[in-house]
Amino acid sequence: MTPGGAAVCRGEVFHRRSMPAVHAFTYPVAYAWFDPDQPDDLCRAHPWWSARRASPARFRRRDYGLEPTGSLSASVRDDLAPVLGGRPTGPVRMLTQVRRWGWLFNPITVYVAWDANDPETADPVGAVLEVTNTPWKERVRYPIALWRRGDSLVASTDKRLHVSPFLDESHRYDVRLRLDDDRIELDVDVVPDGMDEPIVATGLVVDRVAATRAALSATLRHHPFSTHRVSWGIHRQALTLWWKRVPFVAHPRKREVTA
């Protein structure tokens, strides 16, 4: 897949847990794909989308990254430099949610980076997974070098953030990314240390459509409260896991206090 222009991405998120209790769910999502330093490319075709003012769908710079200002693309290149042996100098794209009616919680934002040599034909060289937890709103970035395996790009990285109260940090993320011109697939398997099989398999599958006025309208029409649904779904699924008696894992800060 070439970096391409701004696009809206509609599809599903899935989550499957295999132990200590079996649990699975899917729900519809609406994401966007665009240059993080050019959000107007995403929004300009529709008056209800904006990167500059309050609107039903809004990109707000301080919702992303570890700093509230500055170039997101530059920060991605800086993060990738240690794992790639140098800063990639080609295009950067982000796959993320934007605010809906003032609300946003992004469990994961994915930044994908190409090298400058031939981004129109070559694979992306790296990605940054920006993971945010709730209710603490802590954020961690995972820079990864991407390697071709069959029709996908793959990577692994150690888990460092307390994301779920039903899973500790002694795991790794096995990542598989497939980028087509009209479809994006992301799989993130959560694998316990010393094991080969995941305890949790998560991911998303979305269709990618150019950010025309019609496509932006359709996204608002079919997913008007998509970000609210994400937050509601996280808490609903947590209650289900609690009801299934999956052991509770306290936040590391609380573990330190009680140790």
Residue-wise pLDDT tens digits, 62-93: 999 999 999 999 999 999 999 999 999 999 99
Q: Is residue 124 part of a domain?
A: yes
User: Counting every residue, how long is the chain?
Assistant: 259
Query: What residues make up the domain containing 39?
Result: 7-258
Q: Say how many domains are in the chain.
A: 1
> Is residue 1 one of the residues assigned to a domain?
no
86: left (phi over 0), alpha (psi -120 to 50) or beta: left
Question: 212 lies in a domain?
Answer: yes
pLDDT at 119: 67
pLDDT tens figures, 203-241: 999 999 999 999 999 999 999 999 999 999 999 999 999
126-132/171-180 β-pairing? unpaired
pLDDT value of residue 247:
86
* Predicted TM-score of the model (pTM): 0.94
Measured CA to CA in angstroms, residue 132 lies from 107, 119, 142, 220 at distances of 5, 29, 11, 24
Instruction: Answer for the pair 13, 31: CB distance below 8 angstroms, yes or no.
Output: no
Question: Has residue 93 been placed in a domain?
Answer: yes
Q: Per the domain annotation, does 2 fall within a domain?
A: no
The reply to whether 35 falls in a domain is yes
Residue with the bigger pLDDT between 119 and 52: it is 52
If you search the block for the tokens 């079919």, which residue do you land on?
222
The answer to whether position 161 is within a domain reads yes
